[in-house]
Amino acid sequence: MTADARQAQSRKPADGRPSAAVAPARLRRLNRWLVEGVREDLADLYTESRATAPGDPYPGPGRRNFLKRLTTNMHRPGFALVIAETDRLMGCAFGFPVRADGSWWSGLDRTLPPGIDQLTLSGGVFAFGDILIRPHAQDRSLARRVQERLLTDHQASLGATLVDRTDHPALAAVRSWGWLDVGELRRPAGPTTFRALVLPVGEQSAARLEGLVEMPGGGGPGGA
C-alpha cells in the first residue's frame, strides 16, 4: 500500500495576482457499492493528483496499480472511503482499521514505539491506502479535512500509511499534512521499501509519540 499525494503549495496566475478562492469542498462517505460506480473517476483523480505539472501524467505505474490497490482495500474488514467534491471530485482518502495483532507493522526496521504498539493493541489505528488531492490553492487544508474525517469516523487515535521511500513528492506532501516518520518497512513478498508514517489525532496522542518518531524536518528515531 502507498499513500499517493502531491506536495501542497499555493499557486498564483501568471500575472502574479492571488488565485481565486476555491469553493469549500463537501465531504461524503461512500460505501463499497457507490465506490464501484466511481472507480474510473477515482482513477482519473489519482492521475491528476500525481501530475508533475499541469497536464503531465504521473510517470509511475499509473492507474492500473491504483485500481488494483483500491480493489484490495475494498475487501478488507472495515474499509472506508471519503471523497471531497465541489462541482467535481477534488480529493479522496480510503483505508481500513489496523488489526490488533500488529501484523500491519510487519517488516519495520526498528522496534515499534510503545505508544504506537499500545494504540494498535487497543484498535485505535487506521491505515490509509491512498490520499488523493487535486492540486489547488487550498489543497493542504483539504487533505487534512479528509484525513481527519476518516479517523474521527472510526474513532481512531492514529493514522498509519506507507509511502515508497523513492517517491519524494508524496513524502513531502504527507509530511506537510502532519504525518510523522516511524522508520522503514519492507514486506517479505515485495521489492519496495516504504517509509512508515503516522498521523496522531489530538494533542494527547501527539504527546504520547513525542520523542518516539521523527518530527517534520527533524532527525528523530525515524530519520532516514
CATH code (residue 106):
3.40.630.30
Residue 180 domain flag: yes
pLDDT band at 65 (very low <50, low <70, confident <90, very high): confident
Residue 114 domain flag: yes
pLDDT of residue 203: 55
Question: Is pLDDT above 50 for 216?
Answer: no
Residue 204 domain flag: yes
Domain span holding position 58:
26-209
Residue 40 domain flag: yes
Task: Note whether 35 and 74 are within 8 A (CB).
Answer: yes
pLDDT band at 50 (very low <50, low <70, confident <90, very high): confident
Name residues whose C-beta falls within 8 Å of residue 222's C-beta, 6 or more positions apart in sequence.
110, 180, 181, 182, 183, 195, 196, 213, 214
Residue 106 domain flag: yes
Grid cell 488565485 is found at 19
120: closest CA among 26, 55, 196?
A: 196
**3-class secondary-structure state, position 33:** helix
**3-class secondary-structure state, position 44:** helix
Question: pLDDT digit string (tens) for 73-104?
Answer: 999 999 999 999 999 999 999 999 999 999 99
Whole-number Å distance between alpha carbons of 53 and 57: 8
- Domains in the chain: how many in total? 1
Whole-number Å distance between alpha carbons of 120 and 175: 21
Record the cell numbers describing residue 20, joined without a space.
Answer: 481565486
